[in-house]
């Protein structure tokens, strides 16, 4: 499984992806973020799903970039071209995968800013090749293991947050998923794209670098639970007295 997260804020974009690859009982590490840079033109792609399908789609897309990248002046045009490669791989491999009881399940998060984009854009691409744009209303999207990290994002993230706040929340979301799912883990890769810089900052974090943050969060979370103004919940421990019902013989 995978955990990839994209967040859009008024200041730019944050992306985070784990690197764990699980195949049966074997666990390896592999990068799940692809980036592209040239002057006034940059984007990243994060993927979840079968590794073989992902690698094939990215390889096809790299060939498209070599030939056509200068034609892409808005990010949605690059997303459309990547979508075509996903559909191409589906046509080639979907039937044989299904015969082997595997699903064609390539999802992608694409973020970036090209020459004519007025701001960084963020898209979620589905295995069928269709996509949606992530906007202010719900300014984040997750692919892979989506359930465990979502609650903190819903509680904390709005479009008006700073990139630093978004990165902290992204880490806590990943950490919640890592604790709950054995197939998500370190190292973790991050990308940051600030408005109108056209440059993606990439970094990889090892567990030993971030463990102190997780420990701090665990401690504060327990303290906060103890401090909750939850007197009403005490009723659960005494409730109403129930009168026993006498059964007739």
Q: In the predicted model, what is the mean pLDDT of residues 228-246?
A: 81
pLDDT band at 24 (very low <50, low <70, confident <90, very high): low
Q: Residue 138, Cβ neighbours under 10 Å: how many?
A: 13
Angle between helix 51-68 and 75-99 (nearest 10)? 150
Q: Where are the beta strands (DSSP E) in the chain?
A: 3-9, 12-18, 20-23, 26-29, 33-38, 41-48, 107-113, 121-125, 131-133, 140-144, 188-194, 200-205
Q: What is the pLDDT of residue 26?
A: 76
Q: At 96, is the secondary structure helix, strand, or coil?
A: helix
Domains of the chain: 3-237 (3.60.20.10)
Q: Is 195 exposed, middle or buried (0-12, 13-18, 19+ CB in 10 A)?
A: middle
Q: What is the phi-psi region of residue 101: left when phi exceeds 0, alpha when psi lies from -120 to 50, beta otherwise?
A: left
Q: What is the pLDDT of residue 28?
A: 87
CA nearest 12: which of 143, 118, 146? 118
Q: What is the pLDDT of residue 25?
A: 67
Q: What is the pLDDT of residue 241?
A: 65
Please say whether the beta carbons of 20 and 29 come within 8 A: yes
Q: In the predicted model, what is the mean pLDDT of residues 124-152?
A: 96
Q: What is the pLDDT of residue 231?
A: 93
Q: Please determine, for residue 237, whether its predicted confidence score (pLDDT) is greater than 80.
A: yes
CA nearest 181: which of 28, 20, 31? 20
Q: In the predicted model, what is the mean pLDDT of residues 157-162?
A: 98
pLDDT tens digit string along 169-194? 999 999 999 999 989 999 999 999 99
Percent with pLDDT over 90 in the chain: 88
Give start and end residues of each alpha helix (H) in 69-200.
75-99, 150-156, 163-180
- pTM of the prediction? 0.93
Q: What is the pLDDT of residue 242?
A: 63
27-31, 59-63, 134-138, 151-155: segment of lowest average pLDDT: 27-31
Measured CA angle at 187 (ends 181, 191), to 5 deg: 105
Q: Please determine, for residue 244, whether its predicted confidence score (pLDDT) is greater than 80.
A: no
Question: Going edge to edge, which strands form the sheet with 200-205?
Answer: 140-144, 3-9, 12-18, 188-194, 200-205
pLDDT tens digit string along 27-45? 889 999 999 999 999 999 9
pLDDT tens digit string along 74-129? 999 999 999 999 999 999 999 999 999 999 999 999 999 999 999 999 999 999 99
| 20 token code pair | 């764990």
Percent with pLDDT over 70 in the chain: 95
Q: In the predicted model, what is the mean pLDDT of residues 55-63?
A: 97
Q: What is the pLDDT of residue 238?
A: 85
Q: Please determine, for residue 245, whether its predicted confidence score (pLDDT) is greater than 90.
A: no
């Amino acid at each position: 499984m995978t955990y990839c997260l994209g967040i859009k804020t008024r200041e730019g974009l944050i992306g985070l992806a784990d690197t764990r690859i699980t195949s049966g009982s074997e666990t390896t590490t592999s990068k799940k973020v692809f980036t592209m840079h040239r002057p006034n033109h940059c984007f990243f792609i994060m993927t979840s799903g079968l590794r073989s399908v992902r690698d094939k789609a990215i390889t096809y897309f790299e060939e498209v970039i070599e030939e056509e990248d200068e034609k892409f002046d808005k990010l949605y045009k690059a997303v459309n071209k990547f979508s075509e490669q996903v559909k191409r791989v589906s046509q080639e491999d979907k039937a044989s995968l299904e015969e082997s009881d595997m699903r064609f399940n390539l999802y992608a998060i694409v973020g970036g800013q090209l020459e004519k984009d007025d701001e960084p854009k963020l898209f979620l691409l589905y295995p069928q090749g269709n996509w949606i744009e992530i906007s202010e209303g719900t300014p984040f999207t997750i692919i892979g293991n989506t359930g465990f990290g979502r609650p903190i994002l819903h509680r904390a993230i709005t479009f008006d947050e700073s990139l630093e706040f978004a990165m902290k929340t992204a880490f806590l979301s990943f950490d919640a998923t890592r604790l709950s799912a054995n197939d998500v883990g370190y190292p973790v890769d991050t990308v940051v794209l600030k408005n109108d810089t056209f440059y993606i900052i990439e970094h990889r974090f090892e567990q030993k670098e971030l463990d102190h943050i997780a420990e701090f969060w665990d401690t504060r979370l327990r303290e906060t639970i103890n401090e909750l103004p939850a007197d009403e919940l005490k009723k659960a421990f005494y409730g109403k007295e129930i009168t026993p019902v006498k059964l007739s013989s």
